[in-house]
């Protein structure tokens, strides 16, 4: 924490593939993702086994919680752009997540929803802004940016793997208090990592407020943001616990966001606005991708809890840990391979453009869900089916995620004017909010309303639903590939 802070030019003139600051952000984000994906893997299992919710209600609650987590990333991006800057937003978000984890740990069944509200707001301030800081480590035309986001995405998945593997296991087999306390402990590690490296980021992520603004007024804006974010906790608590209010929120926030973006777009050039139009197309399709993919924390968690054998290739496993961690493990194992494949194709001028990669992501997603559907054929009379085939479905889906998600983060920084990069990164995650919301609705629609339904009947309902999702993903992938020439024109030279 000593020494002179570097200038922006000094940061961006790094030698080699990656700036050193990327590794600092890698470590900070890795631990936050440990908490996020660990919680995601626990939510539905905890609500069904500890809170006594039925499958349908648990899916709706899961969708509502996850939707608000991502919806608040939009608000976090806006407040970072306008008042706090990315660095203070990260610190504030981490502190709120620490409070949220320890709150639930004190009394999991009684304080669950209150602690979740702190976590929702904390993630909103943390998640979009650290991704934007990654983008700002590079000059606009630096071809190393995608490689940087690829490495950053690796950090996300190392954290996701560890959290997804450990937290639900600790909760189910040992103590739910300990599982939720891990959120607070791990976020303290994340915050310390960032605090000791903070000066190395120089001007990146500092407050955007006018330097000539009186200090008292600057403090008033900052503290107003902190106090305001705490003041909305009762409102979030009401909406999370009553999914009818979640519906109303989701109907309103999307249109308002688009209106706000349109207001900002009036000041940009035609080329900038065309690139923003391309960004909106990517955002629109990402809603559908995440609505299907995020069955992982909802219906697929219940599928793993009730319908999978507790063995994998003869070794005893916790099926929920497999569901939570398999995808991240495959990302870690194969992200470098996919990156090398794109490089090999690029040298031969055969690399698909970003739009086609998005389309390929949907095609792999479709393949994975058709495999989930096929597990019905390997089940016994009790509705218990193959964990191996289930895991193979995640293997296929992983290549879809690798084709879509890492370039999505990079594209938002490439296609957005610097002044609204936090806003556009927030919109990327707001699209995930709508995807999560839809994931809860889809999962509830696949759930049996009969509390006495057998495991086999539940398996039939879920596998039928997964077949439908596979078909919709296939259609979306084909549409994206067909319209790719049009979207490339809008992108105006951004690959």
State whether residue 310 is helix, strand or coil. coil
pLDDT (0 to 100) of residue 70: 80
Give the pLDDT band (50/70/90) at residue 1: very low
pLDDT above 70 covers what percent of the chain? 98
pLDDT (0 to 100) of residue 409: 67
Report the pLDDT averaged over residues 131-142.
80
Q: Please spell the DSSP secondary structure of 44-93, one letter per residue.
A: HHHHHHTS---HHHHHHHHHHHHHHHHHHHHHHHHHIIIIIHHHHHHHHH
User: Are the CB atoms for 456 and 376 separated by under 8 Å?
Assistant: no
The CATH number of residue 66's host domain is: 1.20.1250.20
User: Are the CB atoms for 130 and 141 separated by under 8 Å?
Assistant: no
Give the pLDDT band (50/70/90) at residue 181: very high
Q: Which residue has the tokens 């929120």?
A: 249
Q: What is the pLDDT of residues 442-494, one digit of tens each?
A: 998 888 777 778 889 889 999 999 999 999 999 999 999 999 899 888 887 66
Note whether residue 43 is domain-resident: yes
284 or 129, which is more confident: 284
Note whether residue 2 is domain-resident: no
**Range list of H helices, 175-242:** 176-197, 215-231, 233-241
Name the residue among 15, 80, 67 with its Cα closest to residue 59.
67
Q: What is the pLDDT of residues 406-442, one digit of tens each?
A: 677 678 778 888 777 767 877 887 888 889 889 989 9
pLDDT above 90 covers what percent of the chain? 35
Give, in order, the Cα–Cα distances in Å from 288 to each of 359, 373, 434, 479.
12, 19, 9, 13
State the average pLDDT for the chain: 87
pLDDT (0 to 100) of residue 495: 64
Helices and strands: H and E segment counts in the chain? 17, 2
pLDDT (0 to 100) of residue 390: 96
Note whether residue 217 is domain-resident: yes
Give, in order, the Cα–Cα distances in Å from 441 to each of 108, 271, 306, 385, 468.
25, 38, 20, 25, 14
Name the residue among 112, 131, 5, 11 with its Cα closest to residue 62.
112
Q: Taking 50 as the threshold, does the pLDDT of residue 376 lie above it?
A: yes
Instruction: Output the CA angle 332-160-370, nearest 5 degrees.
Output: 75
pLDDT (0 to 100) of residue 5: 80
Quote the number of domains for the chain.
1
User: Each residue of 323-342: b (16+ CB within 10 Å) or e?
Assistant: bbbbbbbbbbeebeebbeeb
Distance CA 340, CA 336 (A): 6
User: Are the CB atoms for 302 and 383 separated by under 8 Å?
Assistant: no
State whether residue 350 is helix, strand or coil. coil
Domain residue limits at 25 = 8-491
pLDDT (0 to 100) of residue 27: 85
Name the residue among 109, 1, 7, 15 with its Cα closest to residue 53.
109
Instruction: Output the CA angle 253-258-264, nearest 5 degrees.
Output: 125
Name the residue among 55, 46, 50 with its Cα closest to residue 451.
55
Report the pLDDT averaged over residues 323-330.
92
Instruction: Output the CA angle 359-365-366, nearest 5 degrees.
Output: 95
Note whether residue 453 is domain-resident: yes
Q: What is the pLDDT of residues 35-81, one digit of tens each?
A: 988 988 899 999 999 998 888 888 888 888 888 888 887 778 778 87
Neighbours of 483 (CB within 10 A): 14
pLDDT (0 to 100) of residue 393: 97
Q: Taking 60 as the threshold, does the pLDDT of residue 2 lie above it?
A: no
Distance CA 120, CA 236 (A): 9
Secondary-structure percent of the chain, ordered helix, strand, coil, rounded to 5: 80, 0, 15
pLDDT (0 to 100) of residue 114: 93
Which of 57-66, 272-281, 302-311, 415-424 shows the lowest mean pLDDT across its residues? Answer: 415-424
Q: Taking 70 as the threshold, does the pLDDT of residue 332 lie above it?
A: yes
Note whether residue 1 is domain-resident: no
> Residue 387 is encoded by which pair of tokens?
């964990």
Q: What is the pLDDT of residues 137-169, one digit of tens each?
A: 888 777 777 778 777 878 888 988 999 889 989
């Amino acid at each position: 924490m000593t020494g002179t802070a570097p200038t922006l030019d000094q940061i961006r003139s790094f030698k080699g593939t990656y700036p050193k600051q990327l590794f600092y952000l890698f470590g900070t984000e890795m631990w936050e993702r440990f908490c996020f994906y660990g919680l995601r893997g626990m939510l539905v299992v905890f609500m069904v086994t500890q809170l006594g919710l039925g499958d349908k209600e648990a899916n709706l609650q899961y969708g509502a919680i996850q939707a608000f987590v991502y919806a608040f990333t939009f608000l976090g991006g806006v407040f970072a752009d306008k008042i706090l800057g990315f660095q203070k937003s990260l610190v504030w978000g981490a502190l709120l997540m620490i409070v949220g984890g320890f709150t639930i740990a004190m009394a999991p069944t009684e304080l669950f929803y209150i602690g979740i509200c702190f976590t929702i707001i904390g993630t909103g301030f943390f998640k979009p802004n650290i991704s934007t800081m990654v983008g700002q480590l590079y000059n606009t035309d630096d071809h190393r940016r995608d490689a940087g986001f690829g490495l950053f995405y690796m950090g996300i998945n190392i954290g996701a793997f560890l959290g997804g593997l450990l937290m639900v296991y600790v909760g189910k087999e040992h103590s739910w208090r300990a599982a939720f306390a891990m959120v607070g402990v791990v976020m303290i590690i994340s915050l310390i990592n960032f605090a000791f490296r903070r000066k190395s980021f120089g001007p990146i992520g500092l407050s955007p407020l006018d330097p000539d603004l009186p200090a008292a007024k600057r403090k008033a804006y900052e503290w107003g943001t902190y106090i305001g974010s705490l003041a909305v906790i009762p409102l979030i608590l009401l909406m999370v616990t009553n999914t009818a209010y979640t519906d109303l929120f989701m109907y309103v926030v999307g249109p308002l966001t688009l209106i706000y973006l349109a207001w900002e777009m009036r000041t940009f050039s035609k080329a900038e606005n065309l690139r923003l139009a391309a960004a909106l197309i990517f955002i629109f399709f990402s809603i559908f991708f995440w609505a299907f993919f995020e069955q992982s924390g909802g219906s697929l968690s219940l599928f793993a809890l009730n319908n999978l054998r507790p063995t994998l290739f003869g070794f005893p496993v916790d099926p929920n840990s497999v569901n939570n961690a398999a995808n991240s493990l495959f990302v870690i194992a194969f992200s470098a391979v996919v990156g090398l494949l794109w490089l090999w194709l690029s040298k031969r001028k055969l690399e698909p453009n970003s739009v086609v990669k998005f389309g390929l992501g949907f095609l792999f997603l479709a393949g994975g869900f058709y495999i989930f559907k096929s597990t019905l054929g390997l089940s016994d009379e009790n509705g218990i089916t193959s964990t191996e085939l289930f895991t193979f479905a995640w293997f296929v889906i992983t290549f879809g995620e690798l084709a879509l998600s890492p370039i999505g983060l990079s594209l938002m920084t490439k296609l957005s004017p610097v002044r609204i990069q936090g806003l556009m990164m927030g919109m990327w995650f707001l699209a995930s909010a709508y995807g999560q919301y839809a994931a809860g609705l889809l999962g509830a629609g696949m759930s049996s309303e009969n509390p006495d339904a057998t495991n086999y009947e539940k398996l039939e309902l879920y596998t039928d639903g997964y077949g439908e999702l596979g078909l919709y993903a296939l259609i979306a992938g084909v549409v994206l590939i067909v319209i790719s020439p049009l979207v490339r024109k809008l992108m105006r030279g951004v690959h």
